[in-house]
Amino acid sequence: MTTAAVVGEHGTLWQPASGCGDHCRDAGFRRAGAVAAAVRVTVLWAVLLLGLLPAGLLGGAALRALCRAILAALGVRAVWRGPRPRPGSLLVANHVSWLDVVALGAMVPAAPVAKHDVAAWPGIGGTARRAGAIFVDRTRPRALPGSVAEVAAALRAGRSVALFPEGTTFCGPDQGRFRPALFQAAIDAGAPVVPVSIGYDSTEAAFVAVDTLWESVRRVARVRRLTVTLVAAPAMRPEPGADRRALARAAQSSLGGAGYRLAA
More confident of the two residues 209 and 47 = 47
Number of folded domains in the chain?
1
User: What is the rounded distance in angstroms from the CA atom of residue 18 to the CA atom of residue 137?
Assistant: 18
Task: Assess if residue 243 is contained within a domain.
Answer: yes
pLDDT tier for residue 213 given thresholds of 50, 70 and 90: confident
DSSP string, the chain: --HHHHHHHHGGGGS------GGG--S-SPBPPHHHHHHHHHHHHHHHHHHHHHHHHH-HHHHHHHHHHHHHHTTEEEEEESPPPPTT-EEEE----THHHHHHHHHS--EEEEEGGGGGSTTHHHHHHHTT-EEE-TT-GGGHHHHHHHHHHHHHTT--EEE-TTSS---SSS-PPPP-TTHHHHHHHT--EEEEEEEESSGGG---TT--HHHHHHHHHTBS-EEEEEEEPPPB-PPTT--HHHHHHHHHHT-S--GGGGG-
Task: Assess if residue 95 is contained within a domain.
Answer: yes
CATH code for the domain of 175: 3.40.1010.10
Give the mean pLDDT of the chain.
Answer: 84
Task: Assess if residue 3 is contained within a domain.
Answer: no
pLDDT tier for residue 230 given thresholds of 50, 70 and 90: very high
Q: Is the pLDDT of residue 262 over 70?
A: no
Q: Pairing state of beta strands 76-81 and 226-232?
A: parallel
Q: What percent of the chain has pLDDT over 90?
A: 56
Task: Assess if residue 202 is contained within a domain.
Answer: yes
pLDDT digits (tens, 9 = 90+) for 151-205: 999 999 999 999 999 988 877 655 788 999 999 999 999 999 999 999 999 989 9
Task: Assess if residue 124 is contained within a domain.
Answer: yes
Task: Assess if residue 240 is contained within a domain.
Answer: yes
Q: What is the pLDDT of residue 260?
A: 43
- Domain residues for the domain of 191 are 79-213+227-263
Task: Assess if residue 251 is contained within a domain.
Answer: yes
Task: Assess if residue 123 is contained within a domain.
Answer: yes
Distances (CA, A) of 84 to 8, 89, 121, 235: 36, 10, 30, 9
User: What is the rounded distance in angstroms from the CA atom of residue 51 to the CA atom of residue 65?
Assistant: 9
